[in-house]
Amino acid sequence: MSSLVLNPWKIFSDIWPHRYLLGQLIKRDVLLRYRGAMFGVAWIFLSPLLMLAIFAFIFGQIFQARWPQQSETLPFWLLLYCGLIAFNIFGETVSRAPTAVRGFPSFVKKIVFPVHILPLVPLGAALVHAAFNTLILLGVLAWLGELRLAVLWLPLLLVPVILLAVGLAWFVAAWGVFIKDMGQIVPVLVQILLFMSPVFYPASAVPAALEPFYAYNPLGQAIEVFRDAVTGQPLLWLGWAWTVLVSLAAALAGYAFFEHSREEFADAL
């Protein structure tokens, strides 16, 4: 197990040969979600558009909420939407991870099937939805005249979110095989983490007693940097690099735990 933790290229070499299979599983997962719906896959665009409209109405018209030191041209609901794009990659991946392996016992019992790619399927689906959400975000920014070159960094800035999500997904997927309650526990914890992360507010607004938690929370740091790129604030690359290192360690540990546990999956299922 230690060799896996110390060698991230081993994980890459385990996944890369199965990229086509993984792509097909992700495609199947996304299409199944909208199968039978009147508008089909058009909901990939319609759903975030409706959500953005609701945010604009509730937070812009009813609550008239404002961000601390908020720009006059960037409304609160758009800053909230930025945070949700980054968080939802993590939230969707980890929330669905408990059943990522347990939901496919026939795959697990096939000796030649690469079981380790199953927790990556929810991540792939989450990235598909995040891509469409980001396109809508860029469209709104262009409409407001606030589209900046810094948005070109957005895919790179999401790297720590992706690494952290997949690391926890491997860990939770392994536990989900043995403990069915993980399917109920993990989504609740993800919801708690949503409100404990700087999505609905900036990290600068938290009480002083909680500042250490936000300072060392890699997910919160990644969300803040993602939002800074949208709002035109200076990007704190040193803090971003720290979140990458922490998230990479989480990914390596999660994969090592998954590989250590996978020999018992077939018996547990």
- Percent of the chain scoring above 70 in pLDDT: 93
The pTM of the full predicted model, rounded to 2 decimals, is 0.90
Q: What is the pLDDT of residues 187-241, one digit of tens each?
A: 999 999 999 999 988 888 888 888 888 888 899 999 999 999 998 888 989 989 9
Alpha carbon of residue 196 to chain centroid: 15
In angstroms, the CA 65 to CA 260 distance is 48
Which DSSP category does 199 fall into?
T
Q: How far apart are CA 106 and CA 183, in angstroms?
A: 19
Helix, strand, coil percentages, rounded to 5, for the chain:
80, 0, 20
pLDDT band at 70 (very low <50, low <70, confident <90, very high): low
User: Domain extents for the chain?
Assistant: 2-50+80-268
CB atoms within 10 A of CB 131: 12
Q: What is the pLDDT of residue 126?
A: 95
Average pLDDT on 149-169 reads 95
Give the DSSP letter string of 208-258: GGGHHHHHT-HHHHHHHHHHHHHHTPPP-HHHHHHHHHHHHHHHHHHHHHH
The number of helix segments (H) and strand segments (E) in the chain equals 14, 0
Our measurement of the distance from residue 176's CA atom to the centroid of its chain's CA atoms, rounded to an integer in Å, reads: 19
Element holding 14 (H helix, E strand): helix 8-15
The pLDDT tens digits for 32-60 are: 888 876 667 778 878 888 888 887 788 76
